[in-house]
Amino acid sequence: MITHNKAKIIMQRNRIKNLIRIMNRHKNVLKWGSNETDRHIQMKLEICKFLKNQGEEFYTEAIFEDGSGRADILAVDREVIIEVYDSEKEESLKNKINKYPLPVILVNAKEEFTEELIQ
C-alpha cells in the first residue's frame, strides 16, 4: 500500500527527473567528465555517497531538457542542483546559477566533505 507521503515523494521525483533528458536518467550512478580533476570527482563521490546513504535520489552529469546545461549533481529529493567547483571561474558559476531550472548549491572541491556543505 502506498501512503500519501510515499505517493507525494514519487510524484516529486517524477517531476524533477522530467527536467533531464531521458537518455541521461541513470539514477544514483556517479558519472564524471574527462576534464574534471581528481579532487572534483572525489567531492562528487562523497556527496553522492551521502545522498545514497540517506535514501535520496540523485543524477550526475544531468543534462537538462531545456538546454540550460549539465549539472554535476541533481539532488532530486532536495530539489536542488549541486555544482562542485575546483578551478572554475566565478563568471561561469554565476551563469549556471542564473540558467539552471532549480536552486544551485556551490561546493568547493578543495574543502573536506561535510553534510553542511550541501544544506
3-state secondary structure of 3: coil
d(Cα 9, Cα 6) in Å, to the nearest integer?
5
Amino acid at residue number 90: E
User: Residue 63 in contact with residue 21, Cβ under 8 Å?
Assistant: yes
d(Cα 68, Cα 26) in Å, to the nearest integer?
19
Q: Name all domains of the chain by residue range, CATH numbers in brackets.
A: 4-118 (3.40.960)
Tens of pLDDT, residues 46-84: 999 999 999 999 999 999 999 999 999 999 999 999 999
Q: What is the pTM of this model?
A: 0.92
pLDDT surpassing 90 at residue 4: no
User: Residue 28 in contact with residue 58, Cβ under 8 Å?
Assistant: yes
